[in-house]
Structure 1
Amino acid sequence: MTEQRHTDSGPGSAAVTRAWDDLVATARRTVTDGLVVGTSGNVSVRVGDTVLVTPSGVAYDRLRPADVLGVGLDGERLFGTLVPTSELPMHLAIYRATDARAVVHTHAVHATAVSTLVPELPAVHYMTAALGGTVRVAPYALYGTDELAENMLHALRDRNACLLQNHGTVVYGDTLAQAFDRTAQLEWMCRLWLTATSVPGHAPTILTAAQVRETGEKLKGYGQPG
């Protein structure tokens, strides 16, 4: 059983090849959709007990199949020659503490702006429910540190997304597509809140916790069956 898991999540396996292709495509999309600039931000995906992660300081459009990079849940390199993202402690903390299968970290402009203004993003839209509730802001800590990872985990309690103060966003999901979609939704809600609060003499209405929970229940049946 152990050998089979190792084979399925090793370099060259079909599962790893597909996951790496999806990871690179997702990382490139964070750039094209304006969620990161240059090589900021990072993406990871879990295949068995192996975590595939973007490397540090390498432009996403330069990543190729041969650049596949995998580490264990303890951070030990399993394969690949490039240096992992400096935010590896943050990614691994999420995988060890949750059932996440994919993590997206960005420096999205509106979300980062909100992280400097409030301790949490108010429930300005019902899609707050898709992120588990009001999105908290993790206190600032130096990037790439265990302190930042710990602050992030506190902010993620009962949530699948959080803001990092003066830094950016962290979102996880069951798939890379879900993690990316949640990231885009968070950035949109931050932009919405900033827009609404910029009107002089007016304040946006905020949904109650009960209204957010009601939406959460309804979202469980959203989409196509099967």
Structure 2
Amino acid sequence: MTEQRHDTTAGAGREAVARAWDELVATARRTVTDGLVVGTSGNVSVRVGDTVLVTPSGVAYDKLTPADVLGVDLDGNRLIGGLAPTSELPMHLAIYRATGAGAVVHTHAVHATAVSTLVPELPSVHYMTAALGGPVRVAPYALYGTDELAENMLHALRDRSACLLQNHGTIAYGDTLSQAFDRTAQLEWMCRLWLTASAVPGHAPSLLSLDQLRETEEKLKGYGQRT
């Protein structure tokens, strides 16, 4: 993966990039305030045209400014900015190349990471499992920032919009940053729910069947306001 700096946004307008960067920074800061990451762990990206804007490596999110905008192409070549991109860039780019994702959020959420150490798949303890495409799989462990981790993640994401990363955290994608963040938050909440229910002595949480999840998935298609 080469890193080259160019004075171009690869077809993305400057104003669109500026707006997207502001939203990316706000989302990254929210991962901290909502307790999904600590310090500079985790990372966020958003696609604008052929440019992927991504959080830089090792920079506190509350220190990021419009002047720190950082963008790469789908091969990881630098298009905008001078900061080094997140070490997890291979995961982000793998998702963009394999899906129609518009944004990706990766966290080290506590409950989700705990679940990733216990089971190969998050049990279907709540109907919102359907909102992520079905039971959430755990991608086998690999060293952070590697192509191996990105490959393991893609297998776990098959027909899903989120997965757990063993002994590591979560990753979720969506059409927008708000959707990707919401899916991340839902996953962490379901992991907390399962851990809480599983901790009751002498009881095991009831789980939803695949048919029940499919029924929910169909109903969710009509969820929300219609205009």
TM-score normalised to structure 1 length: 0.96
Deviations 1:162-201 (A, max 9, x none): 0000000000000000000110000000000000000000
Matches within 5 A, 1:68-107: 68-107=69-108
Q: Does 1:9 align with 2:12?
A: yes
Deviations 1:41-65 (A, max 9, x none): 0000000110000000000000000
SS of the residue aligned with 2:137?
strand
* Distance in 2, Cα, partners of 1:117 & 1:49: 38
Q: Which amino acid aligns with 2:12?
A: S
2:174 alignment counterpart: 173
Q: Is the 8 A contact 2:138 2:164 kept in 1?
A: yes
Q: Does 1:31 align with 2:35?
A: no
Matches within 5 A, 1:115-194: 115-194=116-195
Matches within 5 A, 1:196-207: 196-207=197-208
SS of the residue aligned with 1:14?
helix
Deviations 1:126-165 (A, max 9, x none): 0000000000000000000000000000000000000000
Q: Which amino acid aligns with 2:205?
A: P
* Distance in 1, Cα, partners of 2:108 & 2:10: 35
Identity of aligned residues (%): 84
Q: Is the 8 A contact 2:10 2:49 kept in 1?
A: no
SS of the residue aligned with 2:226?
coil
1:40 to 1:6, Cα distance in 2 relative to 1, 3 A: closer
* Distance in 2, Cα, partners of 1:34 & 1:172: 19
C-alpha deviation, 1:91, in angstroms: 0.1
C-alpha deviation, 1:8, in angstroms: 4.7
C-alpha deviation, 1:6, in angstroms: 5.1
Q: Which amino acid aligns with 1:9?
A: A
Q: Is the 8 A contact 1:8 1:14 kept in 2?
A: no
Deviations 1:113-138 (A, max 9, x none): 00000000011000000000000000
* Distance in 2, Cα, partners of 1:88 & 1:122: 29
SS of the residue aligned with 1:120?
coil
C-alpha deviation, 1:9, in angstroms: 1.3
* Distance in 1, Cα, partners of 2:168 & 2:12: 32
Q: Which amino acid aligns with 1:69?
A: L
Q: Which amino acid aligns with 2:170?
A: T
Q: Aligned-pair RMSD on alpha carbons? A: 1.1
* Distance in 2, Cα, partners of 1:218 & 1:148: 34
Q: Is the 8 A contact 2:105 2:181 kept in 1?
A: yes
Matches within 5 A, 1:28-67: 28-67=29-68
Q: Which runs of 5+ in 1 are unaligned?
A: none
* Distance in 1, Cα, partners of 2:161 & 2:53: 19
SS of the residue aligned with 1:162?
strand
2:109 alignment counterpart: 108
* Distance in 2, Cα, partners of 1:215 & 1:69: 39
C-alpha deviation, 1:79, in angstroms: 1.1
Aligned residue pair count:
220
Q: Is the 8 A contact 2:11 2:50 kept in 1?
A: no
1:212 alignment counterpart: 213
* Distance in 2, Cα, partners of 1:42 & 1:136: 20
* Distance in 2, Cα, partners of 1:8 & 1:37: 34
* Distance in 1, Cα, partners of 2:32 & 2:12: 27
